Amino acid sequence: MPYRRLETVSRLFLRHMHPSRVLKIYYAASFLLGIMLTVLLSHWVATKDVGPRGAAIMTACLNVLLIMLLPLVLDWAERKYFKARFIMLEEVARTNPELASILQSQCQRLAIPNLRLAIVQSASKELFSYGMWRNNPRLVVSDSFLDVDQVNRMVPSIEAELTRFANQDMPLIFLMFGIVQEILLLVLLTIHIII
């Protein structure tokens, strides 16, 4: 009986799952992992196992690692939860040349190289894009998006999402995480010295 309840809860959770929610969960998990590491580092610095400079370097290394893992986590989530299939623009051009030309013109305008579409089976009309420093960019779209009659309605959404992708700076978020972690480390060290 508990197994069936767990299965029902997981189905409800997955039904409301979409790529931007996966990204938010990853950010929250990354932030919590960084806070836990900061607490451990404050103890290690206080006991002289690690110096303050070493603690700062470990915090920076953790955040860089989490930045580099983000595209892999998003790819995995798309394959696991959304059953995504990745296709290049050339494949889109065979079935929907109008959509391919719109995507190519937007990519040229925004200097986004080698865009791939991640086609997911979802009722959601959400467009979502990601990539690391404009490398290996992906645009996540619903399978209904490839219909010829949907193209004209989706053009503003495509332009807005690709513009957001061109302007996004995920490393900035992890830089802010690192700053918060360093401030917390200093506070914990100050409290430890006072006590």
Rounded-to-5 percentages of helix, strand, coil across the chain:
75, 10, 15
Which CB contacts under 8 angstroms, 24+ apart, belong to 160-164?
Answer: 160/127, 161/127, 161/128, 161/129, 162/103, 162/106, 162/107, 162/110, 162/112, 162/115, 162/129, 163/110, 164/129
pLDDT tens, the chain, 195 aa long: 555 654 554 454 445 566 677 778 888 999 999 999 998 888 888 888 888 888 888 888 888 888 888 888 887 877 777 777 777 778 877 877 787 888 888 888 878 777 777 777 766 666 777 776 666 777 777 777 666 666 667 777 777 777 777 777 667 788 888 889 989 888 888 887 665
Q: What is the pTM of this model?
A: 0.73
CA distance 14 to 8: 10
